[in-house]
Structures are given as structure tokens and as C-alpha cells.
Structure 1
Amino acid sequence: MPPPIPTPDVDTLDLDTRQASTLTRRALTWLVALLLLVVTSAVLMVVVLRGEEAQEADRRRTADAQWLDQSLRFHLRRLETDLGALAQQAQTGPPAPRPALGGPWWQQDGQIAFHGWVPAGATLPADTVARGQAPALQTMLDTTRSLQRAAYAGPLPSLSEAHAPWLWLAVPHFEQGRFVGDYVAAVPLDRLLADALPGWFLQDHRVALATDHAPMRPLDENTFMAPINLPGAQLQLEVQLLGNQALLAPRAFFAVAMVCLAGMLLALVRLWRDTARRQRTEARLQTQLALRSAMERSVPLGLCAWDRDGHLLHVNQAFGRLVGWSPSELLRLAATPGQPLPYWPAEQGDEFEQLRQGASDPDRQQAGRVLQLRHRDGQPIEVLAHSAPLVLAHGEVAGWIGSMLDITERQRVERLAARQQAQLEASGRLVAVGEVASTLAHELNQPLGALSSFATGLLNRVREQRIGFDDIVPVLERIEGLAEKTGRVIQRVNAFARRQEMTRQPLALTPFVARVAAGTDLPDGVRLAVDLPPGDGPVVPADAMLLEHALRNLIVNAGQWAPLHTPATTPDEPRVRVELVRSADASAAGIRVSDSGPGVPPEQVATVFDAFSSHRPGGMGMGLAICRSIVEAHHGRIEIARSPDLLGAQFTLWLPLNP
């Protein structure tokens, strides 16, 4: 009978059941407190009483505001009636300073600040109107004529800033449908409020006018605003209730109800926070479990977990696919005492000890180690292994976890890439040898041809006995010079091919260019012109031998292309010109070689410096490539253009003046 398969449960290693039990008991305690507070919540009826009290206060404020509006309107309507009577009297004579009317407006002085008749088309006297108020009063007069009823204006400032604002009233008068004029009166608002409101009302209320000149202070629960809307004017009265208007008993009940409500709310908040914390913890645990499961299913990493004693606790599906064994089979084999793991080679030592040591060593843990496993079919597998300790919430190490990535294919590719890199380096060396051989063939072609010509001519004249001793010496000297030149060419090409460090010394360009141009042989019929500044000219750091090689190649190349001109382009004799120029910023000096040939076509400019790319019959295509390599080794550049006067190609070697 096979041994029982252990059931590894690494998901619950970090759960604290005691903490969960404490949270449960705390929640029950708060629930009991909540039930007790629910019983106490019967006193919330006091809140209803408080609401009724607030509604009663609102109804009282509304009634007071309506009473104020009606009282003031009734008082002002009496004044409108008196002004209508005065308007009729004004047709017979000027109005009396104090009319003999029976109304309450005319019993005491000061109740009417101004009154008078304003005929149609006239305006109020200037001495009765405060500055800036004439437009408002004129609008009032126009309104009475248009609407044929009384109109108000204000509150407006009085003639004296020390007095209260005035309320203006105009009553129109018509005779046989024709507007005759208005009778106008100005009423001080403080006297209006003092005389119109009875004493019993003012015992419980303080009434004041709220104007722009006296901004309203913040209103409390005992203060409210009572608007008085009049035709053409709107008054805002601030009414303050005097004394304590609320009853003590409802407020006491309200305070008790609020205390009970606050306690119940506090208990609810604590219970909600505890429940929410539990829900977040459970959601976090579920998310972590789902995330870990999804990660194990999605990543190709093989994961293994061991306890502190080295017993295998868990392997994922990816590790099973890696070694060809299912996780259940591996766990069954690991539970068998003395049974080695089938995927681990014995020569590598103990698997658990190696991974545990790797988890303890920070350097090894970061870099990982390459191990070799054995597949179920016997094939070796190379893996990159990392390991880390399994640490619980309270800091105790419960085991170790290892991850293994299959790098068998990557190792094979790296070994193949190393072999290909070695082959590539060998090919590069062969290319370098070919470049040196091509350069030698290009450079030695001319001197060897000249040597062959001199030797053949000398041999023919010796055989024919047409030459004396004195004639042989110059020929041999020419042959000796060509041999030395050939040796120097071999030295230059050898040094350039091996990329030896150049010997850069200050070089005066004027004598250097003159010497190279004078020593360069050009085809017959090609005229060479040298345009150099006096003295030594610009001085550049350069290797004279390599730079001479590049300049000589350009001059020879120009001399070979110059005779290929057509009469349509350059009707004169073939010419080559060598000159010195400077850059616009004076940071570089240029050696310019121009010819009267056909020039470089635009489609060939991009390939003219490529190796083995020659557009001249019989050419190897190495001359310009070597020139560019030499100039770039001097941190310079070559520019190609068309000569503006010779109409041929123009090559400019730019060399920096500073090293």
C-alpha cells in the first residue's frame, strides 16, 4: 500500500486564527451595545418635538413678516390718500408747509421730510435731492405718468449723511385724462418704523433697515429678514427676536435624544469599520490566493517549496512539465523515506542544501546559479535556479522557495553564437588580409609597371649595343628610386593595415603640397596648376607619409579624369589645380584638387568612396577608399563638388587645425 500523499497547505501559513477570534468577539460586543442603544432610541421622539418647535418658529417668523408688510402698506396707503388730496389742492394755490389734514402723517413734525407739487414736465428742486439720486427720482416720476398710479423710490440717502435714508413717494394727478403732475413726498425710514409699529410689537422685536450703507451682520436663529415690496422700491427689514423664544423642556429632551443618537452612531461606525476591515482582509487573502494561482499557471517558472527540514511541500504544474513528472507523483516520491528525487542528479549533491545556501547568500540569490536536471526520458535539462526564504508574518522562516527557468535552448544558442562569432572574427581577418592585398596591388601597380618599362628598355638597348656606360647610370638611378618608392608604399600600407598609432607632427601645408604636387607624374598634355599662399601656410597635426599618399592619389586620379572632357564643357586643354583653402569658421584647412574632367555624376556620389567601386576602365576602386580612410584617421573629412571654373570634379581634404 503506497504511503499517504501529504496535503501541503502553504496558503494558511500566514493566517493568525487568534486574531480572527478576537475580532469576532469584539464585533459581538459592539452588536450588544447597538441593541441597547436601539432601545434607548425611543427618545428620538424628542427630535420630532424639536422639529415641531422649528416649524412653529418658522410660522411665527412668517406671520411677523406678513404683519409688518401689511402694517407698513396700510400706513403708506394712508399717505397716498393724503397726497392725492394735496394734489387736488395744489391746482388752486401753492401747498401749505403743514397741510391741515386729519391723518396721522401730519400730526407731528419730522414724519414728512419733504412734500411738494411737481407739475408735468418739471423736476424736483435741486436743494431737496441728494447727489446722484436725480435719475432714480426721475424714473419714479416717469413710472407714475406711464402706469397712472403711485410709485416709490428708495431707500435713498437723505440730504444729510447723519440722517436715516428717505423713502420717496409720488402720486400722479390727472384731469380729464390729461396728466397734470405729481405730488411728491419723502419719508424718513426711521420715523416710519417708529411711528408705524406699535409698542407691544417692539417689546419682543427689534426692527432695523438693512441697506448697502449698513451691511447686514450674519443672521442667527433669532434674526430673519422681512422684505417689503413696494411699487418701484424694495425694503429689507432685519427683525431680531428679543428674549428666549424657545421652551426649555423640548430642548432638554432634544439634548438627551442627541446624546443617545451620538452613542448609537459611534457604535455603528465602529461596527462598520470592523466589518469593513474584515471584508478587506478576506478580499485581500482571496486576491492573493487567486493571484498566486494565476501566476503559477501562467509563468513558465518551475516553483518548489520546502519546509525547514527539507521536506518537499509544493511543486507547480510548470515544474512538473519541466521534468516530465506530475506534481502529485513528485510529492508522493518525496514522501517516501530514502527515495531520491528522480529529476535531481546525484553528482550535484543535495538539492535542498544548495538552494537553501543560495537563499542565504545575497550575491548568489541575485545572480542565480545554473543547475542541471534530468528529464523523465533521461535527457539533461539546464535551468537557472533562484531561491528565497519563506518568511511568516512574525518573521519566522518556515522554509524555502526555489524557482527554476529552463535555459537549455538559450545555452545551446549561446554556444552556437560563440562558434559563429569565432568564425566571424576569422572572416574579418581574411577581409583585412584581402584589403591589404588590394591596397598593395593598387599602390604597387604604377611603380612596378615603371620598373618593368625601365628594365625592358635598358635590356633592349643593351642587347642592341646602343647604350654606353654614361647612359646606364641615369636609368639605374631611376630604377633605384622606384624601388625605394615601392618600399615606402609597402611600409605605409603595412602600417595603415595594422592600424598602428600614427605619428602626428605639425605639418606646414604650403611646402608640403608644393613638394607632393611637383613629385606627381601626370599624363602627357595635362597641365598642373598650384595655387598656394606665401610662406608656410596653415599648420596641421598630421602624419606626413600617410597624408602624402592620400594627396598623391587625388592628384593622380584628377590627372587621369582631366583628359576625358568634352568640348561642350571645357574647350581648353586638360587641367588640374591644387590649392589651399580655409573653412568659414577658420577651424580647418582644406587641400582642394580640381580637374577639367566630366565630374562625378550625382547618382555616384554616395558610392564613389566604396572599396572595389571603380567607374574608370581598368581601375581597382581602392584609391578613393584609401584616401577617405587616411583623412578620417586624421579626424578630417572629404567633400565632393563640381568645380565652378574647371567644370570637373572638386575634392577637398578638410583637416582640423587643432589636434
Structure 2
Amino acid sequence: MTPSTATTSADPSTAAPATPPQPWRRWHSAWRRWSLWTLLVGLVGAMLITLVWLAGRYEASQVQSKLERDTADAVADIRTAFSHNLQSLQALQSGDPDLASWEHRAAGLLSLRRELVRVEWRDTQLRVRAHVETPYRVVPSDPETRAAAQSDIALACANARRIGAASYSGSYFQPQSDGMGSEMMELCVPLLENGRYTGFLTATYALQNVLVDVVATSLQRGQEVSFTEPDGTRLALVGATRRGSRMFQAQQLLDLPGTALMLRMGSWHSAPSVFPNVLTALVTAMSVALVTVMVVLVRDNRRRLRAERDLGDALAFRKAMEDSLVIGLRARDLQGRITYVNPAFCDMVGFTAQELVGQGAPLPYWPPELAQEYGARQQVRLSGQQVPPREGYESVFMRRDGTRFPVMIYEAPLINAQGLHTGWMGSFLDVSEQRRVEELSRTSHDRLQATARLATVGEMASLLSHELNQPLAAISSYASGSLNLLEPVADGAAESPHQPPLPEPLRGDLREVRTAMQRIAQQAERAGRVIKSVHDFVRRRDQSREMVTTQALLDAVMPLIRLQARKLGVQVQVAVEAGLPAALCDRTMVEQVLLNLARNAMQAMDDARIHPRVLELRVARAASNASRGWIEFTVADCGVGIPEDVAAQLFTPFFTTRAEGMGLGLSLCRTVVEQHGGFLGHARREPRGTVFTFTLPAAPAETAAAGAAALPGPASTR
């Protein structure tokens, strides 16, 4: 291995690209130039040949078209002549002429119509009553010859009788005394009188005379015309002999009643004479053009190649730079239409360059709800009243699938090579990922703060539960001692045998004091249970579950609910479905859930505009989960309802809409209900208000039957 090869293999990223040898490049460039010149000369030659060929074809088509028109005109002339002859023959019978008068009329007709050589008047049996011969041509009336034509006459007359009109026979050859002959054709015209056939008129046509007297008058020199059978057999011919190198032919069918003839017309022409003139003019013009193009190409070829090479390098560099960018680029003209976008911008918004270039306001990547604002901002920008900030500004774009994403926009004036302001160039940076990271960081920070606050709350709950247990125990002890002291006095007994009993009004007051002390003892005991439940809840201990009737749960919280209801002017309505099973739950925590939901409902109605204020508490068997045995508690209010933005984070810890709230009530309520396996949710109430619903498991049938005697009854006070 040579050193140069080793160096190239060791660092392929720095190796220079292989270039062909200089002789090969020169030969390749020369081959390209000569191939282009050869292609140009070939195209010019092909164009000249094509033009000359098209000119010849055009002249030939003109000759052929004229010949076909002449043939059609000749057929029309023959039809017209035959029609006139038919009318003249029918006029021979006008006025019921005698034989002499008829022959005189027929002789006059034959002197005018040279194509008719014989006219006969026949009876119904085709016997000749009178006949007249043409004066221009002696036709021998040989009986054998006429007998040969009799069959054609009979066929023509039979066909005329059948169709009720004139009929022609097929052509037949009639020899003459000079050894020549002529093709003849018979015409049979039926004679009718009062709807009855009285005879026939027959006329004999000489096909050669038809061509000479009817068609040849309109022929030009160099044309020939002939009658032929449909199979091509020629019957009669009139015209010039061959006078050209090329023969043009046209034919037309002459369809007559009873027979058909083919009229064929030919024209001799020499080769088109347009070739030398067109060739000389085209060659001269193209030679001048080729010389001019050659001079221009030779002079500008090198500059063009150099400019193309420089332009190719610049385009390749620009393309590589555009493909490597992750920043979107967009150019707009002074009218706000997009003139350029790079691939990064197309990937950013989801539209192709073809779909964006040429688009004006509103642009397809503008969100519909912001299109008016963006349009007004673009008008201000294009008017030159506001210069975009160099530090950029943030906006929102919409992808093709409808998703929105934030972008940072930097814009600057677009100046062309002449120093004119032609538009605006903008760069766009998708900051959705940056915003997502910032949102994640903020969310994580909020969660850390919430966790710290929850830890603090847990510590405070543990401390408060420890510190409050002693005062509550003392309150319970003092209440129990006071009840023991008040029990005999309130019942009417004297404190000592030497003292008289207390008066009745005083004993009534003492009984009320005793009732108050009993309630103080009950609430102190309940407060202790609440503190113990909170302490166990914070320390994640398993709460004790017991069977409690739904009425007992309501009775435990109703005194506090009614107390607050009287303060707020709220009417409380309680509805409990009959025959409900007992609930298997942590009684203290469920009572707190009921109390918290009821207080929130009453606070939602604390508005002077709300009247009446009704709080509904309903307990029933859950309809959707009846087979599983669930009990549904419903707390409904007539408040202003919960907005959608608040409902989305209603159960979020530390979220509250009240200045004095901590945002833990509903979150703890949902946690308590979910620990029991139930569900806590809310819904809109019609016409206004909110309905909170939570479910608790019902005690199994066997457990309920076993513990029915141990179930706590209704509270002593309501």
C-alpha cells in the first residue's frame, strides 16, 4: 500500500473527491458541444424535409379534393339531365295525341337531347305502337338486336309497373354496322289513365353520349370520365390521354331506379412544383439563422458554462445549508404573499412548498380563531408603520392536522441586489418542546411544593391529634363529672337530708343544663374519634369498618348541618329510601365527608340573588350497581354551579376558590370514598346548581343478619 493510499483510507472524511483526468474532461466537454450541434443540424434537416413533404401532401390533397368535387358535380348534372328527360317524355302523352302527332313531338325531343337515341310507345303487352330514331346517329333497327334488348326493356317495364314510376334497365352492348358498338340503357315510363295502365314509353340512352353531352362540357383538360359497373368493368369513357406523371382518381355512385352505375373521374398531374421554391427559401433562411446562432453560441458558450458551474455550486451549497437547518425560513413579498419556504418550515407546519408559495392572508397555518388578529398585524407590518423587534416575538401556528404549537418569530426586511425593499424574510423556531420542558419543570416544582405541604400537614395533624387528645379527654371527664353531679339534683332529690327539694322551675333549668352537658360529652367523644381517624389516615393505617345504618350517619351530622343552615337561611330536605341495608364503612370519616359536602353546598348558595335556598340530602340504592350492593348518597344545591375551568381541577389538592380555604376538603373526601371502594363525582343540576354523589358498599346479607342487633340506632338528638 502506498503512503498516499494509506492516508486516504485513514481519514476518509478529509479525503479530496476524485476528479477525472483533464484530457477526459476536455473530450467529454467537446463531445457534449458537438453532439448538441449535430442534434441541432439534424433537427433543422428534419424540419425542412417535413415542410417539403407537407407541402407536397397539401398540393395533392387539394387536387384530390377538387377532383372529388367535380365528380359529385358531374353526378348531379347527370341526375338533373335524366330528370328533365323524364319530364319531357311524360309531356309527349299530354292531350291524348295520335301517332303522327306523337312521332312529331318525339322527333323534336330527340333533336334536343343527343343522349337519347330512340323513343318508343308501347302498349300494355309491350308491343311497339310508334317509335322515333335520333337524327344524329343512325342506329340500325335490326330485329335480332332489338330482340336482345327486349328482355332488358321487359325487366325495366316490369319494375316500373311494380313501383309505379319510371325505371331503368341494366346496360347492354349494341354493335354497329361499322364494326364498333355502344353501351345502351333503357328507360321505361308507365302510362296511367284513371289509375289504369294504358301502355309504356321506352327511351334508349347511349352511355357514351351521356358522358359527351352531359358531363364533358364541364371537364377541364387533363381529366377523363367514365361509366363503370360496380365491379369495375368500364362501360364508356370520355377524356384526355395521359399527360402527367401521377394519376388522381375519384368515383361516385349513380343510383337510378332499377340499376346503378359508377361514375369514375381521373386527373393526370405532374409532381408538385412547390419543392424548389420552398427548399430554397427555407435553406437560405435557416443558413442565415444557423450562422447567427453559431456566432452567438461560440461567443457566449464559455461564459454560459462558467455561469452554470458557479450557479450549480451556489445552489448545491444553498440546498445543503437549507437541508441542515432546523429553523424554518419564509419569504414574503410586499403584498404579503409567500414567495419561498424551506423544508424545515414545511415540516414544521405540515404543508408542502407548492401549497404555501403564492398564498396570502389568511395563511393555511393560522389558527382560525387568531386569523383576524394575525391579518391586522401583517397589514401593520407591510405598511412599514412598525418595525419587527430584533429580539423576536412569540406566536401560535397550526399544523395541517389542526394541532397548535408556539413559535418564536424573527423577521427582517428583504433587500434585493439593487437595494430595493422587496419583502420580508422571517425565521421560525418551534418552541413547543421548550414550553413542554418548562411546563414539566413547573409541574414538578408544584408537586414538590404540594408534597412538602402535605408532609407539613401530616406532621401538623399528628401533632394536633396528640395535643388535642388531652384537652378533649379533660372536657369529656369534666362533662361526665358534671353529669354525675347534676343527675340526682335534676331528678328532684336534695343534696342533703336537711335541705328541702329544689323548686320545679329550677329543676327544669338543671335538666336543660344536663342535656347540654350530655351533648358536650358526645361532641367531645366524636371529636376524639375524628382526631383518631385523621391520625390513622395520615399514618396510612387500616381504618376500622363497621356496619352503620344510613339514618344513623345522617343523624350524626344533621345537628351541625341544621345549625349552619339556620345561619344561612337554607331549607334542608332529607329523603332516605326505605329498606336500605346498612353501610360497611368507617363511620367517623364518612360523617366528615357528608358534613363537608353539605357545608360546601350551603356556601355555594350564600348569595342574595339565590332564592329559595334548598339543600337536598338523598340516600338510595345505587341504580347502576344494584347487583353489587352499593348505597348512593346525593348532596344537591341550588347555587350558581361550577365553571368548566374550575371543574377540571376541583379535586386537586390545595386548589380552592375561597380566600380562606386550604383546598384539601374535596381532595380528602374523594380519598376517603375511594378507600371504601366507592366513587365521588359531581354533575350539573337543572335548572341550576350542582349535585355531588358518592357511593359506599352495603354490608353483605349474612354480615348484616349477624350484626343486626349490634347496629347503632339513631342518635339521641336530632
Taking structure 2 as the reference length, the TM-score comes to: 0.38
Higher relative contact order, structure no. (Cα contacts within 8 Å, ≥ 6 residues apart): 1
Taking structure 1 as the reference length, the TM-score comes to: 0.41
Q: Which has the larger radius of gyration?
A: 2
